[in-house]
Amino acid sequence: MANPVLAQSVRGNWVENRYRGAICVADASGTILAATGDVSAAIFPRSAIKAMQALPILATGADTQFGLGAPALALACASHNGEPAHTELAAAMLAALDLDETALECGAHPPLDPAARKALFAAGGKPTALHNSCSGKHSGMLALARALGVETKGYSRRDHPVQQRVRSAIEEVIGQPLTEGKCGTDGCSIPTWAAPISAFATGFARMASGEGLAAQTAADASRIFEAATSHPFLVGGTGSFDTEAMEAFGGRLMLKFGADGVYCGALRDSGIGFALKCDDGNVPAATAMVAALLLAIASPDAAQTELLERRARWPLRSWVGAEVGHIEATPDARLEL
> Whole-number mean pLDDT of the chain?
97
Cα separation, 51 vs 139, in Å, equals: 14
Q: Looking at the whole model, is its pTM more than 0.85? A: yes
Between the alpha carbon of residue 161 and those of residues 24, 65, 239, the distances in Å are 32, 18, 36
Cα separation, 284 vs 109, in Å, equals: 21
Chain-centroid distance, C-alpha 187: 14
The mean per-residue pLDDT over the stretch 30-43 comes to 98
Cα separation, 155 vs 172, in Å, equals: 21
pLDDT band at 1 (very low <50, low <70, confident <90, very high): confident
> 3.40.710, 1.10.1740, 3.40.50, 3.40.390: which CATH number matches 5-333?
3.40.710
**Residue-wise pLDDT tens digits, 93-152:** 999 999 999 999 999 999 999 999 999 999 999 999 999 999 999 999 999 999 999 999
The mean per-residue pLDDT over the stretch 38-48 comes to 98
Cα separation, 40 vs 244, in Å, equals: 30
Q: In angstroms, how far is the first alpha carbon of the chain from the final one?
A: 23
Do the bridges between strand 313-317 and strand 32-36 make them parallel or antiparallel, or are there none, so unpaired? unpaired
Cα separation, 324 vs 315, in Å, equals: 8
User: What residue segments make up the domains of the chain, in order of their start?
Assistant: 5-333
**Residue-wise pLDDT tens digits, 80-96:** 999 999 999 999 999 99
Phi, psi of 160 (to 5 degrees): -75, 145
CA atoms within 13 A on the CB side of 218: 12
Q: Work out the number of other CB atoms within 10 angstroms of the CB of residue 221.
A: 27
Q: Are 236 and 243 in contact (CB under 8 A)?
A: yes
Which run of H or of E encompasses 2?
none
Q: What is the length of the chain?
A: 337
Written as one string, the DSSP assignment of 281-325 is: --HHHHHHHHHHHHHHHS---HHHHHHHHHHHEEEEE-TTS-EEE
Cα separation, 241 vs 170, in Å, equals: 24
Query: Can you state the percent helix, strand and coil of the chain, rounding each to 5?
Result: 45, 20, 35
Between the alpha carbon of residue 264 and those of residues 128, 277, 282, the distances in Å are 28, 9, 15
**Residue-wise pLDDT tens digits, 234-275:** 999 999 999 999 999 999 999 999 999 999 999 999 999 999
**Residue-wise pLDDT tens digits, 275-293:** 999 999 999 999 999 999 9
Q: Please tell me the predicted confidence (pLDDT) of residue 174.
A: 98
- Name 276's Cβ contacts closer than 8 Å, sequence gap at least 6: 6, 21, 22, 23, 24, 197, 262, 263, 264, 286, 289, 290, 293
